[in-house]
Chain A
Amino acid sequence: MAAEHILLRHLDVPGLDRLDVYLEHGGFAALRRAVTEKSPQEVIELVRASGLRGRGGAGFPAGVKWSFLSADVFPRYVVVNADESEPGTFKDREIMERNPFQFLEGVAICAYAAQAATAYIYCRGEFWDLAAALEARIAELRAGGLLGKRLFGTEFSLDIFVHLGAGAYICGEETALLESLEGKLGQPRLRPPFPAAKGLYALPTVVNNVETLANLPPILERGAEWYRTIGTKDSPGTKVFSLSGHVVRPGNYELPLGTPFRTLIYEHGGGIPGGRAIKAILPAGASAPMLAATDEVLDTPMDYESLPKVGSMLGSASIIVMDETVDIAWVVLKTTRFFKHESCGKCTPCREGTFWMLQVLERLHDGGPAAGQVDLLNAVAKGIEGKCLCPLGEFAIMPVMSGIERFRPDFAAHEGNGK
């Protein structure tokens, strides 16, 4: 069933990354209507009613987040989290590359709702070319009167700037992102206060993911009720699932939330190459517990409320598939190496704990003295649990603990190798 694309519309409409094509296909009508016919509060209400949840990984309802902005404090800022760095995630990249104007229109709608006159797109530094293209498109919008002062004859003014990161996954955490944008070390802040109260430059700020914002023009155009007809009750709308790993056709697939794993992996992804058996799934990049690819799991709907029932999380919906040839202990070595490399170092449990876990995993793989090391690894992970300043440390232990719990034999095999 070829459902229409809401976010990956470029798959339905060739050339959508050109402004003239985008305008031809109804582009910026949503923004115009919002700015000229609705109040900011009404836009917030509409988005709240749609049930749109943040697509960066936390899944927090966007409209609710916006309603937390401190009243009467100005100026405000919109900051776009385009720091896409979670392993297995490449959806924001495609949206910004191929459907950029819908994304930019979404940023503008958000800015109008938040009553912000400036928006920054914090783009990971590796997206250098993409960022340059985005800046060129922003310039086009300015030239076309779709960005700048007094848009559509109203008092609403907006400018958008691109700010490049420089290679730090932790800057995808919203408070670390704000620190980085302020020119300081990109380390997370204490919360509270939350960005809606004290964000960029200590002013009320909305931080949203690229995909979240790209949803706004369709929602504004077609309404909250329409949006709720897609997906599930608690997870309305479509999601762009990034599928990677041992599949025939890795890529981004926009599907309604609630689509089961099986559909994504086998129908769209072409199944496992060579017809091999599927073994494990990481549903949220490295930042969620690993799932054993049982039938129950494969039939689980991919949405925010169903994943916890099988012991994991949807997160950013970056589905990494692993087949029977994979050594889960090796997978966990990779994820732990990632988190250890990306740990900002601010808090003791994550800084020392990810280092320690990696030491143990490397010893397990290098054939060093390994008796009792799997239990130790689990104990270290448990020691980190619940103590970290930000979610990175908490996520780092999830593949470790779930890996050991659900795939113990893979680990035990390494334990026997050493003295």
Chain B
Amino acid sequence: MTATEIRSGVLRQRHAAEIEAILARYPADQRRSAVMPLLYLAQHEYGYLHAEAIDEVAEILGISGTQVGSLVGYYSLYHDHPGGKVRMQICTDLPCALRGAESFAREVCQNLGIRLGETTADGAVTVEEVMCLAGCDKAPMFQVQDDHGIHYREHQTVAAALEWVEEVRRTHGR
């Protein structure tokens, strides 16, 4: 993705129909409401939300780059730095922690050779700890955030989690 490509509106070129559909959900004079779904769109296209992505979304909505960029910093699911191919977000909040989530997270990280918050050396997985995901009865559990969305993996064991990481590696190529 070169700078000129971004400046010429990649999002508009590749996702015109989806952008229109998103805008149509909100009143015509309240297009700013579309900023959150558009940020997801941009994040899935670019992997993370850099300055150009923010400018593109701002331009589509007719608001300032700061009004868009500000949201990227505020919300936990928007990322301003690249991560691994997938983000493995493990809930270690109280109810999950009462059912072994903290040791689960620790062991997964040890096996992957990284600390919480870091990315594996091959760039496949970023492991993060997050707050309650409403999966408290299925702990330990984590969610996977990638370029397609967010998906839950619950009732986890360390072995199952590591096997899943292997699958990720196979799918995305080493």
Contact = CB atoms under 8 A, between A and B. Distances in A.
Interface string B126-137: 000011111111
A326 B95 CA distance: 12
Contact of B95 (A85, A93, A186, A245): A245
Interface string B10-30: 000000000000000111001
Contacts of B39: 166
Interface of B: 25-27, 30, 32-37, 39-40, 61, 63, 67, 70-71, 74-78, 93-95, 97-99, 130-137, 139, 143, 149-152
Nearest to B130: A167
Nearest to A246: B98
- The majority secondary structure among interface residues of chain B is mixed
Given A87-B132, A168-B76, A322 B98 contact: yes
> Would you call the interface of chain A mostly helix, strand, loop, or mixed?
mixed
A90 B136 contact: yes
A251 interface: yes
B72 to A, nearest CB: 9
Contact of A338 (B77, B93, B98): B93
A87 B98 contact: no
A184 B75 CA distance: 11
Interface in A241-281: 242-246, 250-252
Given A85-B132, A168-B75, A180 B98 contact: no
B104 to A, nearest CB: 15
Contacts of A243: 137
Contact of B137 (A90, A125, A168, A282): A90
B74 A186 contact: yes
Interface of A: 84-90, 92-93, 124-129, 132, 161, 163-169, 180-186, 201, 242-246, 250-252, 282, 285-286, 320, 322, 326, 331, 334-335, 338, 341-342
B94 A331 contact: yes
A128 B76 CA distance: 14
B70 A164 contact: no
A245 B70 CA distance: 36
Given A126-B134, A242-B136, A182 B150 contact: no
Contacts of A127: 134
A79 to B, nearest CB: 11
Given A85-B131, A90-B135, A334-B93, A184 B76 contact: no
Nearest to B95: A244
Complex A-B, nearest 10 residue pairs according to Cβ-Cβ distance, in ascending order: A167-B76, A166-B75, A183-B32, A250-B137, A167-B77, A244-B136, A128-B150, A244-B95, A87-B132, A90-B134
A87 B136 contact: yes
